[in-house]
Amino acid sequence: MPSDWLTAVAWVSLATAFVSAGLIVVDVFARGYRQHVWIMEVVWPLTALYSGPLGILAYRRWGRLNSRRYHHDVGHARHYGFPVSVGISDTHCGAGCVLGDVLGEWVVFAVGATIAGVALWSEYLADFALAFVFGIGFQYFAIVATRHLGLRDGVVAALKSDALSVMTFEVGLFGWMALLFFVFFPHAHLGPNQAAYWLLMQVGMIIGFVTSYPANAWLIRRGIKEAM
C-alpha cells in the first residue's frame, strides 16, 4: 500500500487537476473562448488533467489567444514562435494518448487481465492500442477541419502526422510505468482504484509529453505535421 503522505499528496494533485480542467471548460464554453479547431476544446482540459496548474497557465497564455473571441476582441490572430507551436501540437497528441491510457488502465483493472501473470504487459497493450486510436483520432479531426479532407485521406494524413508522436509519448510513459512496477513499488501493487496511482501516472504523462516533444518538432520541421 502507498504511504499516507503519498496518498494525501495524490488527492491534492488530482483535485487541483480537476479544478484546473473545470476552469478551462468554463472559460471555453461559458465565457465564450471557443477554439478555431474544436478538438482543442477537448485537448486543453485533458492536458490540465495531468499537468494541473501548468495546463491552465498554458491555456491562458496560448490556448485562449487562439479563440474566436480573442481574435474578435483584438482584431487579429496571435502568432506563436516555433517552440510554442510544437508544444501546442504536443498537447494535442498527448491529450489523445492520455484519454486512451486512462481508459486502458481501467479496462485492464476491471477484467483483471494479465500476460504471463504480469498486469503491466496487459496495461501496455491496452494503453497503446487505445492511445493510438484516440491520438490519431484527435489529429484526424484537426486535419479535416483545416484541410477539408475526406475520410480516407484524413485518416492517412493523421497517421503520417501523429503516429510517431503517439509512439514517443507512450515510450516515455511506459518507461516510467516500468520503473514504478519493477523498481519503486515492486510489492505495492498499485492500481487505478488508488489515488497515488494516478498521481504517479500524471508524472508519467508529463514525461511522455517531454519525450514526444522532439518528435513533434521534427515532424513539423519536415512539413509532415502542421503546427497547431
User: Which domain range does residue 171 map to?
Assistant: 4-221
Report CA-CA distances (Å) from 46 to 3, 73, 113, 138, 179: 27, 26, 26, 12, 24
- Render pLDDT for 43-53 as a digit per residue (tens, 0 to 9): 999 999 999 99
Is the CB of residue 200 less than 8 Å from the CB of residue 128? no
Domain count for the chain? 1
Does 203 fall in a domain? yes
Say how many C-beta atoms besides its own lie within 10 A of residue 24's C-beta: 26
Cβ 82 vs Cβ 178: under 8 Å: no
Is the pLDDT assigned to residue 79 strictly greater than 90?
no
Q: Which three cell numbers stand for residue 140?
A: 484526424
Kindly report, residue by residue over 82-98, the tens digit of the pLDDT: 999 999 999 999 999 99
Which pLDDT belongs to residue 73? 78
Mean pLDDT to the nearest integer, 68-87: 80
pLDDT digits (tens, 9 = 90+) for 150-169: 888 889 999 999 999 999 99
Q: Is residue 50 in a domain?
A: yes
Does residue 109 lie in a domain region?
Answer: yes
Is position 228 within any domain? no
Is residue 226 situated within a structural domain? no
Task: Give mean pLDDT, residues 217-228.
Answer: 89
* Residue 67 confidence (pLDDT) above 90: no
Q: What does the pLDDT read at residue 77?
A: 60
Task: Check residue 69 and give its pLDDT.
Answer: 86
- Does residue 144 lie within any of the structural domains? yes
In a domain, 227, yes or no: no
Residue 107 lies in a domain: yes
> What's the confidence (pLDDT) of residue 100?
97
pLDDT of 76 reads 62
Which pLDDT does position 78 carry in this prediction? 67
